[in-house]
Amino acid sequence: MTKTTVRVGQLGAGFIGQMHSLAFSNAGFSRLQPEVRADLVAIADVNQAAAADIAERYGWTATHNDWNGLLGEDLGLFVNAGPNDLHSAPTIAAAQAGIPVFCEKPLASSGDVAYKLWKAVAAAGVEHRCAFMHRFIPAVQFARELIASGELGEIRHFRSRFLMNMLAPDGSVSWRFDRGRSGAGAIGDLGSHHIDLARFLVGEVQEIAALTGTWTVDPAQLITDVNDDSFIAIGRLENGATASFEASRVVASHALTGEFEIDGTKGSISWNMERLNELTIRRPGQGPMTQMVTRPGHPMEGFWLPGGVQGSHPLGWNECFAHQAHDMLGLASGHLTDSVAATFEDGYRVAEIVDTIERSAKERRTLPIAFKA
């Protein structure tokens, strides 16, 4: 069996750079079509020790301490796993060199920057996707199928919560807390995932009202404009459904709580990242029924192991990243046309909603989302 090989270059050897390294090395083992694998050509990070460690651990052939070095390689896919303020320039440069691009979320540190990034990359004519990885969780795809089939009836409500503790034990704060580098805080970092989910599962966000909170101060006093630690927003989706989004990065007792609920006229579903293979379904007159989605026929069945007489084994966060990497390799190689991955237009739209949430909290009023075409 000969798999199409995509030569991958990646910016960023930090937390998510490691996940993508693992995912792109693993994606080639998938049994699903298209038959693609990644050649981990080069990784770039200003932190040379981190780049060297990740290169050694996952098999990147070369390291660079400047992302420009990646553009001198012969690449078939550019992965941007750098901080938010580094999403735009390198991704545009790669796209203009004719390389398909895959960029971390949020697409940029503001709606305006995200818009220019989307337009520049679209003009370059290359495949472009934004890493809203929840779309590659089988339970989320199963939820989408249930909604599309009409099993839940008309959707009336979407609600979500994303709670974490992102404070370092020594109290130090990273680029994420710096408005100048990150843009929004919890809204862009955590909320953006669930905003994308609401759009993916139910429909576009049309208007929003929000409150934000910030408690963190930089003990080193280097970051003077600390962005939001938490937010709560209520909104309306295009089909008339109401939506609520809550996220906080300073909830000490939550390692990672990420959950959504969707209510329709014929049924409701709920999902929680801590039990990511399960979807709880409620129907009128019945109590909650929790179902494992990793059963024969589930959306990623047979990704690595054939489902069947030996059962369907549980999946984890790593596998969902591999599903996403496999999809991106398929797109970059031209062998996949029906991807569910978020485009840069999706990334821009989420960034515009994030900006509007911030503005709504500041102006203390409900605002429509003014998307640019």
Interface residues with ligand NAD (CB under 6 A) are 11-17, 44-47, 50, 67, 81-84, 86, 104-105, 131, 133, 174, 189
CA distance 88 to 95: 11
Q: How far is the CB of 306 from ligand NAD (least distance, A)?
A: 28
Tell me the residue number closest to ligand NAD, measured at CB: 14
In angstroms, give the least distance from the CB of 239 to ligand NAD.
Answer: 27
- Which residue's CB is nearer to ligand NAD, number 50 or number 234? 50
- Please say which residue, 45 or 229, places its beta carbon nearer to ligand NAD: 45
Residue number, 50 or 62, with CB nearest to ligand NAD? 50
Which residue type occupies 253?
Answer: S
Least CB distance from residue 49 to ligand NAD, whole Å?
10
Query: Which C-beta is closer to ligand NAD: that of 9 or that of 12?
Result: 12
Nearest CA among 187, 191, 139, 64 for reference residue 298: 139
> Residue 108 or residue 279: which is nearer to ligand NAD going by CB?
108
d(CA 149, CA 29): 32
Q: What is the C-alpha separation between 365 and 40, in angstroms, rounded?
A: 48
Contact 350, 196 (CB under 8 A): yes
| Rounded least distance, CB 247 to ligand NAD, Å | 13
Q: Which is nearer to ligand NAD, 236 or 349 (CB)?
A: 349
Q: Report the candidate in 64, 73, 72, 71 with the shortest Cα–Cα distance to residue 43.
A: 64
CA nearest 87: which of 64, 116, 65, 63? 116
Smaller CB separation from ligand NAD, 86 or 117: 86
Go through 23-43 and write b for each residue having 16 or more CB atoms within 10 A of its CB, e for each that does not. Answer: bbbbbbebebebbbbbbbbbb
User: At its nearest, how many Å lie between ligand NAD and the CB of residue 193?
Assistant: 7
Peptide bond between residue 299 and the one before it cis (omega within 30 degrees of 0): no
Q: How far is the CB of 44 from ligand NAD (least distance, A)?
A: 5
CB 114 within 8 A of CB 91: no
CB of 342 vs ligand NAD, minimal distance in Å:
11
How far is 300 from 130, CA to CA, in rounded Å? 20
Distance (Å, whole) CA 43 – CA 16: 13
